[in-house]
């Protein structure tokens, strides 16, 4: 499997202040890579550099083996980009926007018709000026243009902003199909559950530098589960003294605790109780990231 995205030593300064200060990472073809960090960390600047929208102060960026500084047009034909704050030209119709953006992509919009149908953009909608569009409709145009030329690499910045739950699900379907077909995804989002569900690897950027990187599951650390056990009849003191259980709080038939590690012994023990309900939720990436942000501050 080849390398889809390779960013090496990327620096972008605005005056004396670096927005991105020596960022390097690579994303394999077929991989989904998450890029997360607090506001102002340098995520958008990294993405804009990858698409030739800002000129890096130094560093190199290669996409599907091509250097973007010398081969940008060829790169753009293979990339679908959804910017974070997706602006359109208010006086153009939706269709005119798609055509204009399609011309920049330089590859025929082979999927446009199908995408408009799936995202419920009617012909009447497409012939209306964008200035009368709702936020959600503008985001749908953003999604259609990102996928319309069937790109091999998707670069998505906060892709589900402004979408209602039904459209979020349709977008999830498009992303799954792209993955199944061997496509690559670079996803920047502050919705950490989205990053957790979508990506295998993640980089955390803070103040222009990558402060943590690795398998999404590893970066989250040893995963902690928050468990609630409701029983039908009481158990003996110490019956929940099982490896991995901590912070146990018992209140009558309700027991709350944290769990880390292999669950086999716990499940075996629960099998000896009269269980009414057992809820066990993994800790979210968000909590782990807050820890990372704190550590590097």
- Binding residues (CB under 6 A) for ligand ADP: these are 14, 19, 37, 39-45
Comparing CA positions, the residue from 152, 205, 151, 214 lying closest to residue 10 is 205
d(CA 161, CA 178): 20
How far is 244 from 261, CA to CA, in rounded Å? Answer: 6
Distance of alpha carbon 21 from alpha carbon 12, whole angstroms: 7
Q: How far is the CB of 90 from ligand ADP (least distance, A)?
A: 23
Q: H or E stretch including 136?
A: helix 135-147
- Distances from the Cα of 163 to the Cαs of 35, 86, 125, 146, 168, in angstroms? 20, 13, 17, 15, 6
Q: Which is nearer to ligand ADP, 41 or 219 (CB)?
A: 41
Taking the complex as a whole, the smallest distance from the CB of residue 110 to ligand ADP amounts, in Å, to 31
Q: Which is nearer to ligand ADP, 43 or 62 (CB)?
A: 43
Sign of CA dihedral 98, 102, 104, 105: positive
> Residue 204 or 224: which CB sits closer to ligand ADP?
204
Q: Min. distance of Cβ 210 from ligand ADP in angstroms?
A: 12
Considering beta carbons, is residue 16 or 124 the nearer one to ligand ADP? 16
> In this complex, which beta carbon is closest to ligand ADP, that of residue 37 or of residue 109?
37
Please report how close the Cβ of residue 189 comes to ligand ADP at its closest, in angstroms.
11
Smallest distance, Å, CB 36 to ligand ADP? 9
Q: Do residues 137 and 93 lie in contact, with contact meaning Cβ atoms separated by under 8 Å?
A: no
Give min distance, CB of 18 to ligand ADP, in A.
8
- Cβ-based neighbour number of residue 244 at 10 Å: 15
**For ligand ADP, which is the closer residue by CB, 44 or 288?**
44
Q: List CB contacts of 80: < 8 A, sequence separation 6 or more.
A: 145, 146, 147, 148, 149, 151, 153, 154, 155
Q: Determine the Cα–Cα distance for residues 55 and 109; give it in Å rounded to an integer.
A: 28
């Amino acid at each position: 499997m080849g390398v889809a995205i390779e960013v090496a030593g990327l620096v972008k300064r605005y005056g004396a202040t670096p927005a991105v200060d020596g960022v390097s990472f690579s994303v394999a073809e077929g991989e989904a890579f998450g890029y997360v960090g607090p506001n102002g960390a340098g995520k958008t600047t990294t993405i804009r550099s990858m698409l030739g929208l800002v000129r890096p102060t130094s560093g190199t960026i290669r996409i599907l083996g091509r250097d973007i500084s010398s081969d940008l047009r060829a790169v753009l034909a293979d990339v679908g980009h959804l910017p974070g704050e997706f602006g359109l030209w208010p006086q153009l119709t939706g269709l005119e926007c798609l055509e204009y953006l399609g011309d920049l992509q330089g590859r025929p919009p082979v999927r446009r018709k199908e995408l408009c149908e799936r995202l419920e953009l009617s012909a009447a909608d497409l012939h209306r000026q964008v200035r009368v569009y709702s936020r959600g409709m503008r985001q749908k145009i953003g999604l259609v243009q990102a996928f319309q030329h069937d790109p091999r690499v998707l670069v998505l910045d906060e892709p589900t902003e402004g979408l209602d739950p039904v459209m979020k699900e349709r977008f999830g379907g498009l992303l799954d199909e792209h993955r199944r077909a061997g496509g690559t995804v670079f996803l920047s989002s502050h919705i950490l559950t989205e990053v957790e569900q979508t990506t295998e690897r993640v980089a955390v950027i803070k103040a222009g530098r990558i402060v943590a990187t690795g398998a999404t599951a590893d970066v989250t650390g040893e995963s902690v589960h928050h468990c609630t056990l409701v029983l039908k009849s009481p158990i003996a003191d110490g019956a929940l003294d099982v490896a991995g259980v901590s912070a146990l709080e018992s209140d009558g038939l309700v027991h709350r605790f944290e769990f880390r590690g292999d669950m086999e012994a716990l499940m075996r023990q629960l099998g000896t109780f009269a269980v009414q309900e057992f809820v066990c939720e993994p800790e979210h990436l968000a909590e782990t990231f807050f820890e990372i942000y704190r550590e590097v501050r």
